[in-house]
C-alpha cells in the first residue's frame, strides 16, 4: 500500500509509474540502472504479467538485466535490438536544460550508449535531483585500467582550465579494491562542486586518452518525470516545450504498490 513506502520511495515509484505511459506493446525499451529505474522495471514487469504487455528490454547493467528477467521482461542485447523506441532511466542530477549527471551506479557508459540509440530518453526522478547548476554530485568518468594513474593526472591537469569550483579526483572503490564497471573499467569521481560549462567540460574530458566516457548527458534527455510523495507528478517535455502535472490518488486502501516487493 502507498502508506507503507517511505516518502522518497513513493516519489520514485510514482515517477516510474507515470513513465510506463510511454511504453506500448511491441516496443524495444532501454532499461536504466539505479534505485528509481528499478521501480520502473518492476512496474513494467507487473504490466507484462498482469496486462499482457509485450516488450523487449535492453538493460544498461547486469543487475538491471537480472531484475528484468526476474519480473518477466524479455531481455535482448542492443545489437539484437538495433534501435530502441524509448529508454527510461534515472539521474543523479538534472538542470533546467535537461542536462544530466549520471553514473552514481557506475553504469553511465552503457546508459549513454543505450540512451543515444533510442528515439526518446525519459528520465524519472524525485524532486531532490533538480539543481540550478550541475556539479554538487560528483561527476563519474570511466577509465581503462591500463595507465589509470596517468589518466587521473591528465584529468586533474584538464580541470585547471575548466569552469569548475572543485578539482578533486578520487578513484571509486568497492571495499578495499577498485570498483570495476561491467565493461571492466575503473570509475573516477570528479568532485567539481559546480560545473559552469558542461559542454566544454564533456568535450575536454573525452579527448583524454584512456578516458572512455564521462557522466554528462547533454542533449540526450527528452522528458523528465518528477514524482512527489504527496501523489503529484510533474512531467516536462522539452521537445513539446510543455509542462504537465499529474495526480495519483494515494488512499490508504489503494493497492497500487502491490507485488512490487515480491
Annotation-wise, does 30 bind a ligand?
no
Annotation-wise, does 90 bind a ligand?
yes
- Paired with 56 in beta bridges are 28, 74
Count of C-beta atoms within a 10 Å radius of residue 161: 9
Quick one: angle between helices 35-51 and 62-71, nearest 10? 30
Annotation-wise, does 219 bind a ligand?
no
- Paired with 169 in beta bridges are 190
Annotation-wise, does 26 bind a ligand?
no
Strands 223-227 and 232-237: antiparallel
Annotation-wise, does 135 bind a ligand?
no
Annotation-wise, does 33 bind a ligand?
yes
Annotation-wise, does 87 bind a ligand?
no
233, 189, 226, 214: which is closest to 36 by C-alpha?
226
Q: Which residues are identified as catalytic?
A: 111
Annotation-wise, does 97 bind a ligand?
no
b vs e for 212-229, b when ≥16 Cβ sit within 10 Å of the residue's Cβ? bbbbbbeebbbbbbbbbb
Annotation-wise, does 36 bind a ligand?
yes
Residues 6+ apart with CB under 8 A from 18: 124, 225, 227, 233, 235, 246
Whole-number Å distance between alpha carbons of 238 and 221: 8
Report the binding-site residues.
33-36, 89-92, 102-105, 129
Report the binding-site residues for substrate.
33-36, 89-92, 102-105, 129
Amino acid at each position: 500500500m502507498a502508506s507503507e513506502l517511505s516518502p522518497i520511495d513513493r516519489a520514485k515509484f510514482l515517477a516510474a509509474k507515470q513513465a510506463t505511459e510511454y511504453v506500448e506493446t511491441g516496443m524495444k525499451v532501454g532499461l536504466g540502472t539505479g534505485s528509481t529505474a528499478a521501480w520502473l522495471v518492476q512496474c513494467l514487469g507487473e504490466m507484462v504479467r498482469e496486462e499482457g504487455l509485450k516488450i523487449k528490454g535492453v538493460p544498461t547493467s547486469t543487475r538491471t538485466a537480472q531484475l528484468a528477467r526476474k519480473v518477466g521482461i524479455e531481455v535482448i542485447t542492443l545489437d539484437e535490438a538495433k534501435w530502441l523506441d524509448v529508454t527510461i532511466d534515472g539521474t543523479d542530477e538534472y538542470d533546467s536544460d535537461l542536462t544530466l549527471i549520471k553514473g552514481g551506479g557506475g553504469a553511465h557508459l552503457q546508459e549513454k550508449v543505450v540512451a543515444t540509440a533510442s528515439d526518446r530518453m525519459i528520465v524519472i526522478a524525485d524532486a531532490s535531483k533538480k539543481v540550478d547548476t550541475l556539479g554538487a554530485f560528483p561527476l563519474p568518468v570511466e577509465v581503462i585500467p591500463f595507465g589509470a594513474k596517468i589518466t587521473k593526472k591528465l584529468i586533474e591537469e584538464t580541470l585547471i582550465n575548466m569552469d569548475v569550483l572543485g578539482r578533486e579526483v578520487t578513484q571509486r572503490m568497492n571495499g578495499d579494491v577498485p570498483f570495476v564497471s561491467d565493461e571492466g573499467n575503473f570509475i573516477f569521481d570528479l568532485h567539481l562542486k559546480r560545473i559552469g560549462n558542461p559542454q566544454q567540460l564533456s568535450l575536454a574530458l573525452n579527448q583524454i586518452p584512456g578516458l572512455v566516457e564521462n557522466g554528462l548527458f547533454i542533449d540526450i534527455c527528452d522528458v523528465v518525470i518528477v514524482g512527489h510523495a504527496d501523489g503529484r507528478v510533474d512531467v516536462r517535455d522539452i521537445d513539446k516545450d510543455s509542462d504537465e502535472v499529474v495526480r495519483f490518488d494515494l488512499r490508504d486502501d489503494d493497492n497500487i504498490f502491490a507485488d512490487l516487493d515480491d
